[in-house]
Amino acid sequence: MHLPDGILPPAVTLTGYAVSVAVAGFCLYQIRQFPDPRAEVPRTALLTAVFFVASLIAIPLPPISVHLLLNGLLGALLGWFAFPAILVGLALQALMFGHGGVTTIGINGVILGLPALLAFALFRLAGKLPRQFQKLGERVLGFVVGAGAVALSVLLFAGLALSFLPAAIDAERERQALAALMLAYLPVLVLEGLITALLVGFLQKVSPELLHGRASR
């Protein structure tokens, strides 16, 4: 789910960088409002490592393979830190493994990072639920944001890939290939929803402060 180099026109990749820098700047501005922004760095670093490794593990779903995205999980747990964390993870993947592209770090940041911020916004609504429904609400929203972020990222990926097809490409054949890819991500969508909901339930029991840290306020 990472766009490689050479797929999109330069104007689109530059726009991707501009949007990513602007969104990351806004996130960093929000982070600076915290009394102690460094307090959230350990959690951010650990979840960046999880994001970095999860994207490298290919899950074979013949005839193709897919990988976990975990951007909804990062959004729910890291809040404003999720977007910079995803950018760092994407840069490391592109520079070290050629996973995605260097010119497309910005646009891939948009594809994975914006759904993470939407997941953060949605997951925060659980705090507004009546106290007796809050735990259940957090788990349900955990599933929704975990699955929803994957769905949104897949749609953004496919939309961008289809919107800027070279004239020489057989559009119908590419549409079919993208449809197969989107279908292959349906199990990933459910899996990530379950992972996020289960992790939220686990943190509610063992370490609620991690779930309701400053980053997610």
Partner 1 sequence: MPRSIRLAAYATLLVTAAAANGHGTQIEGAVVPGIRVQAQYDTGEPMAEAQVIVYAPEQPAHPWLTATTDHAGVFQFVPDPAQLGTWAVQVRQAGHGAMLNLPVLPTETVSHQITVCTNHLSRTQQWLMALAVVWGLIGTALFFYRQRGANASS
- The residue (of 22 and 46) whose beta carbon lies closer to partner 1 is 46
186 binds partner 1 (CB under 8 A): no
Stretch that binds partner 1, among 14-22, 54-62, 123-131, 190-198 (CB under 8 A): 54-62
Among 18, 22, 39, 121, the residue binding partner 1 under the rule CB under 8 A is 39
The one-letter code for the residue type at 43 is: R
Q: Whose CA is closest to 112, among 138, 88, 136?
A: 88
Q: Whose CA is closest to 52, among 27, 69, 34?
A: 69
Q: Residue 117: how many CB atoms within 10 A of its CB? A: 21
Structure tokens at 46: 């650990």
Stretch that binds partner 1, among 24-32, 75-83, 91-99, 195-203 (CB under 8 A): 91-99
Stretch that binds partner 1, among 74-82, 97-105, 125-133, 200-208 (CB under 8 A): 97-105
Q: How far apart are CA 118 and CA 152, in angstroms?
A: 10
Can you tell me whether residue 58 is helix, strand or coil?
A: strand
Among 13, 16, 52, 216, the residue binding partner 1 under the rule CB under 8 A is 52
User: Residue 64 pairs with which residues in a beta bridge?
Assistant: 61
What part of residues 137-166 is at the interface with partner 1 (CB under 8 A)?
A: 157-158, 160-161, 166
98 binds partner 1 (CB under 8 A): yes
